[in-house]
Amino acid sequence: MLQATALLEAASSGQAHFAEVVESLSTRGWCEIPDFLSRAEWQPMAVEANLMYANGGFRMAGVGHGTGMRIRPEIRSDRVRWIDPLEPSLLQQAWLERIEALRLAINAGLMAGLFDYEGHFALYPPGCFYRRHLDRFSDVSYRTVTCILYLNDDWKPEDGGELRMYLPGEAGKESYVDIQPTGGKAVFFMSGDFEHMVMPSRRKRLSLTGWFCKRR
């Protein structure tokens, strides 16, 4: 009974999946939550992001960071728009509040020392992809947990654009899982532990990708 009350409270405050995320990150390092946000929650974000894109508010994504950042369309060909933490839209603000609550839950469960979050919308026009990579820059390691939220209506297998997650296995035997970028789905993983790629997408593919970071 007590547990049911706690679950209800967690659900109504938008923390329904937090325990599962914390548990999965600590045991196997990653998880896929198909209904992290309801349609009513994610679709307005998609509308807003598509509008910003139509108004020229996205830029070619780069590889690397700081002064070492380069545009390399042969490696990644998506377009991004960073969330400005000082001037988020109302919808972005709601997302930042939820992600802040999740950050605290992960810190409490994992002693992860996550200090802040940075995130951007990423849009892959048809034909675009992101080759196999690790989300951690080679020279710095503050990106600790990757958080991806998908914002696509009615994704179909023939649309491509899967997130291919490479899973290290015993005796160096690697396997992978392909995850469809269906609206409302979230994927979380330890940024330094899993190589992954975005398979060529046949449809416009939108996501909100971010990272919980340690103190720099």
Q: Assess 209 for contact with ligand OGA (CB under 6 A).
A: yes
Does residue 79 bind ligand OGA (CB under 6 A)? no
What is the contact mask toward ligand OGA in residues 132 to 151, using x (rule: CB under 6 A)? ---x------------x---
49's enclosing H/E stretch is: helix 39-54
206 binds ligand OGA (CB under 6 A): no
Q: In whole angstroms, how close is the CB of 86 to ligand OGA at the nearest point? A: 22
163 binds, among Mn ion, ligand OGA, none (CB under 5 to 8 A by kind): ligand OGA
Q: What tokens appear for 7 in the block?
A: 């679950």
Site string for ligand OGA, 114-133 (x = CB under 6 A): --------x-------x---
Of 135, 150, 185, 194, which lies in the binding site for Mn ion, with binding defined by CB under 5 A? 135
Q: At what angle do helices 39-54 and 90-110 cross, to 10 degrees?
A: 120
Q: Print burial letters for 23-55: b (CB count within 10 Å at least 16), e (below 16).
A: ebbeeebbbbbeebbeeebbeebbebbeeebee
Beta bridge partners of 148: 187, 209
String of contacts with ligand OGA for each residue 157-176, x by CB under 6 A: ------x-------------
Contact 59, 81 (CB under 8 A): yes
Query: Interface with Mn ion by CB under 5 A: which residues?
Result: 135
